[in-house]
Amino acid sequence: MKNIKNIALSLVCIGVLAACGSDDKKVAAPVDTGQNQGNVQTDETTVVHPTATIESVVSANADYAFAVYTDALHSAQSLQEAVDKFVASPSENNFMAAKQAWLNAREPYGQSEVFRFREGPIDALTKDEQGNWTLEDGQGPEGAINAWPLAEALIDYTQDMDGNQSRGNAQVYQAGGNIILDSVSFPQITAELIREKFELDGEEANVTSGYHAIEFLLWGQDLNADLTYTAQRDYTAGHRPITDYYTSANLPSDEANGRTCTSGEQGSFNEICERRGVYLKAVTQLLVEDLQAVVDAWRPDTGFHYQEYVKAENAAANLGAMLESMGRLSFGELAGERMSIAVRTDSQEDEHSCFSDNTHRDIWLNAKGIRNTYLGLYTRVNGLEQSGASIHNLLITKGHEELAVKLKAALDSTMGKVLIIDEIAKSGMSFDVQIQNAEHKEHIYAAISALGEQTDLIQQAIDALDVSAEDLKQDTEENI
């Protein structure tokens, strides 16, 4: 915890200096925390906060968007390579590599979610009747990319965990029915089919694509190690056997135990294992396509949204949007949907990344993205530091130093709280087990409270900078 504070502090210093030096070109400088650590004290006492303007803060934020979505895209492309390789040749090494690639891909994406809740590309990017990209709230790819809980039973075989799904009459809805099994209703599994069926029959609950679909196809249901489902969970993640991807065409030559294709209790039909591989590849392809479109919208040279976003006349509205997104991700989404429901109801289904038991990272990364936005800082996947004018500096420039310091302290406090959840998970007790244990629940409630406190201060910042929601609403009404 102490380390993190130090690192964070030194990053701020670097960020501040970089922003100060050059405004028109954001040069990514390598992080060298080891060397800087000794200078932290001096830097903190001597640094003069550079003047930030609303325009420069928004512009730096647009560069953050492009960087974080580009990282998300590249890591999804790496995931796609790993998945393709695994499906072609299902060795244990390739299986591990695909899972690791998925975990890697979550790291930048989690830090990008602070760009939600503002009618930006992630929530609103779609094509108009002429086939041109445009923004229409609610029509964006976010759901297809990251929706949860997943309707895993509609994708592949599952063991009945609580049953009681009683809607729809099609084969796919019947007990044991699913898209991979049902080759009559879904003869060809393609990225287009999955895009079309992302919410099967228009049911919001029938999510069949995105990160969590890939996660499910790699890890399988998060059952206990003995493949049972009980109210009292064990520490293990999903247990999908590698043989689920064995086909007559790709059977590993070194398969010593004579194992062939498996599909849970549905038997071992080669066609189903083939279709599972096809589904996994197609759904990963779809993720890459969706992220590509978001990256393109944020591309500084050609992205239509980037160019709108950084226009001076939109700066105040976009600063308001940045703060609103920070507040709404902090409280409604992260503290609310992603933490409080799971911990209050002891519900594994309401855990974000339940198949891989990676929820602790989702939580930490979301919180990090909020802090990144405030400080105008982002550490890229390659380790390079990207920084620019920040809301923190802007508050100080506008004479709200006390609020700036309090807000930063609140964000740091949250990071400390979510780090505890992260560390406990890394030590072996995953989030879905933490929510079952009184002592660890306290840590989660503490993180929820910290997120609440930072949200209050974010609202104060909205007022202090006079970019209130009221103004934003008027802007949207004018646009309609």
Partner 1 sequence: MTYTLKKLFMLIVIISLNACGGDSSSESNDKKDNSNKSEQVTTNNHAFNITVNDGLAPLLINQPDATEHLSAGLGTTNMVDQNAYSQAIEAIVDEPQLDAVFKAGDHTFRSNHDGQGPLFNNSSCQGCHIKDGRGQVPSTADEAMSSMFLRIGDSLGNVEPTYGDQLQVFGTINGRSGGVIAKYRGALDEGLAYGEAYTWVEYERVTGTFSDGETYELRKPIYKIKDLAYGDFIDDVQFSARVTPHVYGSGLLESIPQQHLLAYADPTDNNNDGISGRPAYTSHPVSGEKQIARFGQKAVTGSVLQQIAGAYRGDMGVTNSINSAEPCTDAQTACLAQAERENNKHHNGVDLNDVDLAQVEFYNRTLAVPKRRGFDVSTQLWQEEILAGRAQFYAANCHSCHVPRYKTAQAPGSVLGDVDLVSLSDARTNIIALEQQVIYPYTDLLLHDMGGSCVVSKELIDGQSCNEGEQCIYVQRCEGLADGRPEGEATASEWKTPPLWGLGLVQTVNPKATFLHDGRARSIQEAIIWHDGEAKASQQAFINMDKTQRTALLAFLGSL
Contact footprint for partner 1 (CB under 8 A): 137-139, 160, 162-167, 169, 175, 202-205, 231, 324, 327-328, 330-333, 335-337, 340-341, 343-345, 347, 349-350, 445, 448, 452, 455, 458-459, 469-470, 473, 476-477, 480
Taking the complex as a whole, the smallest distance from the CB of residue 51 to partner 1 amounts, in Å, to: 29
Alpha-carbon dihedral sign for residues 166, 170, 171, 173: negative
Q: What is the C-alpha to C-alpha distance for residues 19 and 55, in angstroms, rounded to an integer?
A: 13
Taking the complex as a whole, the smallest distance from the CB of residue 166 to partner 1 amounts, in Å, to: 4
Which tokens sit at 162? 């609580």
CB nearer partner 1, residue 252 or residue 336:
336
One-letter-per-residue 3-state SS of the chain: CHHHHHHHHHHHHHHHHHHHHCCCCCCCEECCHHHHHCCHHHHHHHCCCCCCCHHHHHHHHHHHHHHHHHHHHHHHHHHHHHHHHHHHCCCHHHHHHHHHHHHHHHHHHHHHHHHCCCCCHHHHEEECCCCCEEECCCCCCHHHHHCCCCCHHHHCCCCCCCCCCCCCCCHHHCCCCCCCCCCCCCCCCCHHHHHHCCEHHHCCCCECCCHHHHHHHHHCCCCCCCCCCCCCCCCCCCCCCHHHHCCCCCCCCCCCCCCCCCECECCCCHHHHHHHHHHHHHHHHHHHHHHHHHHHHHCCCCCHHHHHHCCHHHHHHHHHHHHHHHHHHHHHHHHHHHHHHHHHHCCHHHCCCCCCCCHHHHHHHHHHHHHHHHHCEEECCCCEEEECCCHHHHHHHCCCHHHHHHHHHHHHHHHHHHHHHHHHHHCCCCHHHHCCCHHHHHHHHHHHHHHHHHHHHHHHHHHHCCCCHHHHHHHHHHHC
CB nearer partner 1, residue 2 or residue 167:
167
Taking the complex as a whole, the smallest distance from the CB of residue 99 to partner 1 amounts, in Å, to: 28
Taking the complex as a whole, the smallest distance from the CB of residue 177 to partner 1 amounts, in Å, to: 11
CB nearer partner 1, residue 272 or residue 448:
448
CB nearer partner 1, residue 40 or residue 446:
446
Taking the complex as a whole, the smallest distance from the CB of residue 394 to partner 1 amounts, in Å, to: 20
Taking the complex as a whole, the smallest distance from the CB of residue 207 to partner 1 amounts, in Å, to: 11
The residues pairing with 126 across neighbouring beta strands, listed in sequence order, are 134
Taking the complex as a whole, the smallest distance from the CB of residue 352 to partner 1 amounts, in Å, to: 12
Q: What is the C-alpha to C-alpha distance for residues 224 and 217, in angstroms, rounded to an integer?
A: 17
Taking the complex as a whole, the smallest distance from the CB of residue 350 to partner 1 amounts, in Å, to: 7
CB nearer partner 1, residue 393 or residue 455:
455
User: Dihedral, CA atoms, 431, 432, 436, 439, nearest 10 degrees?
Assistant: -10
Taking the complex as a whole, the smallest distance from the CB of residue 140 to partner 1 amounts, in Å, to: 12
CB nearer partner 1, residue 379 or residue 454:
454
CB nearer partner 1, residue 82 or residue 334:
334
Which tokens sit at 310? 């950084």
Contact 214, 277 (CB under 8 A): no
CB nearer partner 1, residue 214 or residue 321:
321
Taking the complex as a whole, the smallest distance from the CB of residue 174 to partner 1 amounts, in Å, to: 9
Taking the complex as a whole, the smallest distance from the CB of residue 275 to partner 1 amounts, in Å, to: 23
Written as one letter, the residue type at 274 is E
Taking the complex as a whole, the smallest distance from the CB of residue 345 to partner 1 amounts, in Å, to: 7
CB nearer partner 1, residue 231 or residue 256:
231
CB nearer partner 1, residue 162 or residue 226:
162
CB nearer partner 1, residue 143 or residue 388:
143
CB nearer partner 1, residue 3 or residue 474:
474
Q: What are phi and psi of 132, to 5 degrees?
A: -90, 150
